[in-house]
């Protein structure tokens, strides 16, 4: 159950209705500009049944390594815990531009999406070299973030989620631009 007061039930309903319409436009524009990646790509085409997130990732440091997208429930106790993600997609880095990944979710609800630019392809976050991004693009610190600011309401259809990558710069973690 979501414990955050960020998304209220009536507001979530309106947000979900708008997200469905926006998600279809986002998917169409993403398909025109860059391919939709991941094994769930067919779930993000206009009119596809079910529940999916179309995550557009931008702000990469470079193109080495792989990109990992995973999402968690709204439970603060399991957020970022090892193996506690609900679903994961991993794709090789593309040569240029934003990367767009489609991932299905089990049903309507609030989820936190996490993107890892695994530059050395070791399968884990290295704060010294890898990049990280979260849904809702919160401001980051060097400590583990809380789940509430990252939660996105997912409804029926496709929900667009923009994510800007963050990399360590001195004593902070922030976007490159």
Please give the Cα distance from 132 to 43 (Å, whole number): 25
Residue range 6-23: average pLDDT? 39
91, 97, 102, 105 alpha-carbon torsion, rounded to 10°: 90
CA-to-CA dists, residue 47 to 23, 25, 50, 52, 137, angstroms: 10, 11, 9, 12, 28
DSSP notation for 60-80: -S-S-SEEEEEEE-S-TTTTT
Taking only the tens place, the pLDDT of each residue in 153-170 is 999 999 999 999 999 988
Query: What is the rounded radius of gyration, in angstroms, for the C-alpha atoms of the chain?
Result: 15
Q: Please say whether the beta carbons of 80 and 144 come within 8 A.
A: yes
Distance separating alpha carbons of residues 125 and 145, to the nearest angstrom: 14
Residue range 41-71, pLDDT digits in tens? 999 999 999 999 999 999 999 999 999 999 9
Whether 169 contacts 131, CB under 8 Å: no
For 134, how many CA atoms within 13 A lie in the half-sphere containing its CB? 22
Q: Is the pLDDT of residue 30 over 70?
A: no
Tokens of 14: 């309106």
Structure tokens at 67: 């990109």
Q: In this predicted model, what pLDDT tens digit does every residue of 75-134 receive, in sequence order? A: 999 999 999 999 999 999 999 999 999 999 999 999 999 999 999 999 999 988 999 999
Confidence grade of residue 146 (pLDDT, cut at 50, 70, 90): very high
Per-domain residue ranges of the chain: 9-169
31: number of Cβ within 10 Å: 16
């Amino acid at each position: 159950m979501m414990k955050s007061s960020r998304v209220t039930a009536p507001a979530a309903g309106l947000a979900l209705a708008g997200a469905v319409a926006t998600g279809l436009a986002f998917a169409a524009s993403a398909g025109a500009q860059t391919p939709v990646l991941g094994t769930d790509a067919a779930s993000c085409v206009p009119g596809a049944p079910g529940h999916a997130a179309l995550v557009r990732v931008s702000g990469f440091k470079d193109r080495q390594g792989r990109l990992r997208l995973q999402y968690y429930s709204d439970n603060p106790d399991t957020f970022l815990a090892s193996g506690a993600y609900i679903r994961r997609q991993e794709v090789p880095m593309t040569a240029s531009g934003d990367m767009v990944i489609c991932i299905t979710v089990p049903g309507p609800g609030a989820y936190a999406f996490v993107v890892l630019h695994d530059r050395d392809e070791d399968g884990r976050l290295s704060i010294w070299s890898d990049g990280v991004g979260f849904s809702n693009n919160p401001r980051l610190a060097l400590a583990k973030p809380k789940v509430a600011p990252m939660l996105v309401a997912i409804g029926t259809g496709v929900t667009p989620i923009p994510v800007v990558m963050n990399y360590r710069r001195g004593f902070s973690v922030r976007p490159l631009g």
